[in-house]
Homo-oligomer: A and B are copies of this chain.
Amino acid sequence: MSSTSNVSPKISLDTINPLVKEAQYAVRGELVIKADGYRQTLAKDPASLPFKKIVACNIGNPHELGQRPLTFLRQVLALCHYPELIKNEVTAATFPADAVARAEFYLSKIAGTGAYTHSKGLSFIRDEVAAFIEARDGHATDPEHIFITDGASSGVKQLLQTLIASPADGVMCPIPQYPLYSATMTLLNGQLVGYFLNEDKGWSMDLPELERAYDAAVAAGTTVRALTVINPGNPTGQCLSVENIEAVVRFCEARNLVLLADEVYQTNIYSTVPFTSFRKVVKDMGSDVPLVSFHSVSKGFVGECGQRGGYFHVTNLPADILAQLYKLASISLCSNVTGQLTVGLMVNPPKPEDPSGPAYAQERDQILESLKRRASKVAAALNALEGVSCQPVQGALYAFPQITLPAKAVAAAKAAGKPADTFYCLAMLDATGICVVPGTGFVQKPNTYHFRTTILPSETDIDNVNAALAKFHAEFLAKYA
């Protein structure tokens, strides 16, 4: 052993980054770790627990709960990974001509799926995204303003990392919010400036509350850098009207805030309010507000979470800031090619007149109609429970019901050292195998309790899930009456 007088402290919870210790991500937290344990127990002895399987309602993971992938999309991915399927006439003949043509087009542009790409993503995929945005919003779109990312999450992190310059800097986020935002802000040592959504009005976004939150943050010494909107809402499911979006744009304009529009659920709409992108409203208004819009292949009717594909699109950002975002992206080299191709296939699906067009439309419509039925079924089932109130699920993939817990249950939770909603959700998992996320994980108004569950259990499963939840809920109330 070499001699030394200098020695560093051993690695321990006391020496590592305190921000890593502090960060919380409830969507994969205590409940999920416990559910993983139950899964292993069930694999060894299926009769050892009061339920036969874990129902993963903690996360919007459509394929895990039985949603099937879109055929055209997977055909093109298979052909791109193994182009021999095209060269071999026998196998090529089993694919629709448009799938072969799309794969040939992609393959003509790249050295296969195995090469690093440009750090902003493949240029021909960015062209497809630009064409999609242009068609959706009716405004010219520059592919150079698009960055392809590993899911939307990595783009959100890149933006927040760029925007937070000091511990006094903050970003406004809805409360409740998707915990990616709170976890990332903790890791960046920035301020999460929460604005409350109005639960009584279907989780609407009210301007006076935005003003209150901004002014309170400034009064507390925070420099607010940006405002995040999740539309349709996660975990809350509300959809913003054009008037609402315009008000938010003006709010940000007046305060020089960068607008971060998390629009990953833009095709998950179940109400009569259609989706309108922030980009469209900003361009229609002729606003110069800096805007970054996020999208993903993980949600919608595509549901390809495992491919980790997404993009962000910047509007009204100075060129030198774009250059910084490019440099930051380059440190991660590039996002995965399968995810990039999946982005292209999501934004540029077969046209109705293409060979795969009718089948694609049928697969899409079946998924969306089924999601709509389930959104309404889940909200109704929750509202039928004593002391539970669930706002309409207008969009996205979740219900976020408020639960009134008996005083004895709150006391028992306190005695167990758990937030009361976590205590409730753990009891639900123990009794039913249904894994949901406590409202605490999304932040909520003080002295209110919620949980997030997904509408994704299949139509053959969802009545059973709702029934099991109702039975548990009644027994829980009886136990703590």
Binding site for B on A (CB under 8 A): 1-4, 6-13, 15-18, 20-21, 23-25, 27-29, 36, 59, 61-66, 69, 71, 74-75, 77-79, 81-82, 84-85, 88, 90-91, 94, 111-119, 150-151, 153-154, 161-165, 180, 183-184, 187, 207, 211, 214-215, 218, 223-225, 247, 250-251, 253-258, 290, 298, 303-308, 317-318, 320-321, 324, 327-328, 330-339
Report whether A256 and B225 are in contact in the complex, using a CB–CB cutoff of 8 Å: no
Given contacts A11-B256, A254-B2, are A114 and B63 in contact (CB under 8 A)?
A: yes
Complex Cα–Cα for A74 and B184 (A)? 35
A186 to chain B, nearest CB (A): 10
Report whether B94 and A61 are in contact in the complex, using a CB–CB cutoff of 8 Å: no
A231 to chain B, nearest CB (A): 19
Known: A153-B332, A305-B333. 10 other contacts (CB 8 A): A2-B211, A2-B251, A17-B162, A36-B118, A69-B113, A69-B114, A113-B306, A180-B331, A308-B334, A336-B339
Given contacts A331-B180, A336-B338, are A9 and B223 in contact (CB under 8 A)?
A: yes
What B residues does A214 contact at CB under 8 A?
Answer: 4, 6
Specify the chain B residue showing the minimal Cβ separation from A188. Answer: B17
Report whether A308 and B331 are in contact in the complex, using a CB–CB cutoff of 8 Å: no
A-B contact pairs, 11 of them (CB 8 A): A2-B211, A4-B254, A6-B215, A11-B163, A20-B161, A25-B331, A62-B115, A64-B111, A78-B79, A113-B306, A150-B336
Select A74's contact among B20, B82, B320, beta carbons within 8 Å.
B82
Among A15, A16, A24, A258, the one with the most B-chain Cβ atoms within 10 Å of its Cβ is A16
Complex Cα–Cα for A20 and B157 (A)? 13
Report whether A17 and B164 are in contact in the complex, using a CB–CB cutoff of 8 Å: yes
Select A336's contact among B1, B112, B308, beta carbons within 8 Å.
B308
Specify the chain B residue showing the minimal Cβ separation from A308. Answer: B336
What B residues does A112 contact at CB under 8 A?
Answer: 63, 69, 306
A220 to chain B, nearest CB (A): 12
Report whether A250 and B114 are in contact in the complex, using a CB–CB cutoff of 8 Å: no
A251 to chain B, nearest CB (A): 6
What B residues does A20 contact at CB under 8 A?
Answer: 161-162, 324, 327-328
Q: Lowest 10 A-B CB distances belong to which pairs?
A: A78-B82, A28-B330, A306-B337, A308-B336, A63-B114, A78-B78, A338-B338, A64-B115, A63-B115, A116-B305
Among A79, A82, A90, the one with the most B-chain Cβ atoms within 10 Å of its Cβ is A82
Specify the chain B residue showing the minimal Cβ separation from A113. Answer: B306
What B residues does A85 contact at CB under 8 A?
Answer: 78, 85, 91
Report whether B153 and A1 are in contact in the complex, using a CB–CB cutoff of 8 Å: no
Complex Cα–Cα for A67 and B28 (A)? 39
Specify the chain B residue showing the minimal Cβ separation from A170. Answer: B8
Select A77's contact among B24, B81, B327, beta carbons within 8 Å.
B81
Among A20, A91, A304, the one with the most B-chain Cβ atoms within 10 Å of its Cβ is A20
A316 to chain B, nearest CB (A): 10
A28 to chain B, nearest CB (A): 4
What B residues does A256 contact at CB under 8 A?
Answer: 7-11
Report whether B75 and A7 are in contact in the complex, using a CB–CB cutoff of 8 Å: no
What B residues does A328 contact at CB under 8 A?
Answer: 20, 23
Complex Cα–Cα for A214 and B7 (A)? 10
Select A94's contact among B88, B164, B332, beta carbons within 8 Å.
B88
Complex Cα–Cα for A308 and B18 (A)? 29
Complex Cα–Cα for A346 and B17 (A)? 33
Complex Cα–Cα for A150 and B332 (A)? 9
A150 to chain B, nearest CB (A): 6
Specify the chain B residue showing the minimal Cβ separation from A83. Answer: B74
Complex Cα–Cα for A118 and B207 (A)? 39
What B residues does A224 contact at CB under 8 A?
Answer: 8
Given contacts A336-B150, A339-B336, are A7 and B254 in contact (CB under 8 A)?
A: yes
Report whether B13 and A321 are in contact in the complex, using a CB–CB cutoff of 8 Å: yes
What B residues does A154 contact at CB under 8 A?
Answer: 332
Report whether B8 and A225 are in contact in the complex, using a CB–CB cutoff of 8 Å: yes
A42 to chain B, nearest CB (A): 14
What B residues does A258 contact at CB under 8 A?
Answer: 11
Given contacts A327-B25, A331-B25, A336-B339, are A16 and B321 in contact (CB under 8 A)?
A: yes
Given contacts A7-B255, A74-B82, are A116 and B165 in contact (CB under 8 A)?
A: no
A480 to chain B, nearest CB (A): 30
Complex Cα–Cα for A228 and B69 (A)? 42
